[in-house]
Amino acid sequence: MRLFTTVCAVTLWSSLALAETVTTPPFIEAVHPMNGEVLGVAIGPDGPGVEFSSAQTNGGLYRLGQTTVQIPMSDGKGLRNPTGLTVADGMIYLVDGNEILAVTAEGDVLWRVADGREGVFLWNIEMAADGRLLVSDFGNGRFVSVNRTDGAIRDFAPGLHLPTLARFTLAADAIWAITWGSDTGFDSTLYRVSQIGSDWKADAVASGFGNAEAVALQGESILVGGYRGHETAPAARLMRVDPTTGRVAGLTMGGDTQGISDIMIDGDTVYLTFPPDAKYARFPTADLM
């Protein structure tokens, strides 16, 4: 049964020639193309150590390019810590702390819904084939699903628990998810989440990553992006994983940055996001190496 669309997010940097690199506001977390433009969400100038514990509306949704324009929210409430966004049918859906929003490209807020349960910190958002939004909750290590019409939140895969769940990507028959792990060890793990009957299970495919945050499908392999590479390739920021064997190979893209927070693949174009460097890059998928 086909449960999910294949929707990926990527942004890359390399010492090689790039199609384009763009300076962004500080601590940009994710980007997404829309109507010939590129949108991005940033958590604020002081970085995660300060912004993630702050209720100040230092974050924002931006239209990125030679001139960066912040898109104000029409409800006047602003954004605190937005870390993920996706686009569908002319609408932007984004996560911000414990809130999920549906907004237009002009910033008109159709709905803003909060998950008021304890410990919620929503990290990534993607759209499933049935039209629902799927969201990762970093704080509680779980997924929730969201109705695109009104933002109603429901539990997804009850009983499934992946501590420090960060980003994920959707395949035809599975969810590929990455966990952040600790801030010092090489203990981030790539999981394949699948459904058997009414039950869901998570199989560890590859571990040993250092603060991995991003994951995307690219051909027959999985791309993982992070801040401290892999125990076999600590200098890498982007890695390729064989989904059958779990073998990890470090790639050169992004190796001269402080880390990758998101990978977005749109057709034959890859986007990589580098929060501490305040940049994103895009280039042909053929250049992945």
User: Where residue 279 sits, what CATH number does that domain have?
Assistant: 2.40.128.630
Averaged pLDDT in 10-residue chunks for the chain of 289 residues:
31 46 94 96 94 93 94 97 96 98 98 97 96 97 97 95 97 96 95 94 98 96 97 97 97 93 96 96 89
Does 90 reside within a domain?
yes
Question: In this structure, what are the phi and psi dihedrals at residue 49, rounded to the nearest 5 degrees?
Answer: -60, -30
Q: What is the DSSP letter of 139?
A: T
pLDDT of residue 19: 64
State the pLDDT at residue 3. 38
What pLDDT score does 152 carry? 98
- At CA 174, angle to CA 163 and CA 280, rounded to 5? 70
> Is the residue at 138 inside a domain?
yes
Question: 269: closest CA among 5, 6, 11?
Answer: 11
Question: Looking at the domain assignment, is residue 15 inside a domain?
Answer: yes
**Six-digit token pair at 135?**
């969201």
Residue 45 CB neighbours (<10 A): 13
Task: Give the C-alpha separation, 174 to 200, whole Å.
Answer: 10
pTM of the model as a whole: 0.92
If one counts the domains in the chain, the total is: 1
- What sign does the CA torsion over 58, 64, 70, 74 have? negative
Domain that holds residue 258: 9-172+249-287
Give a yes or no: residue 211 inside a domain.
no
In a domain, 229, yes or no: no
Q: Per the domain annotation, does 231 fall within a domain? A: no
Q: How far apart are CA 5 and CA 165, in angstroms?
A: 20
20 domain-assigned: yes
Q: Which residues pair with 10 in a beta bridge?
A: 263
- Select from 143, 72, 154 the least CA-distant residue to 113: 154
User: Torsion over CA of 212, 218, 219 and 220, rounded to 10 degrees?
Assistant: 10
* pLDDT of the residue at 66: 85
Q: Per residue in 72-117, pLDDT tens?
A: 999 999 999 999 999 999 999 999 999 999 999 999 999 999 999 9
**110 is a domain residue:** yes
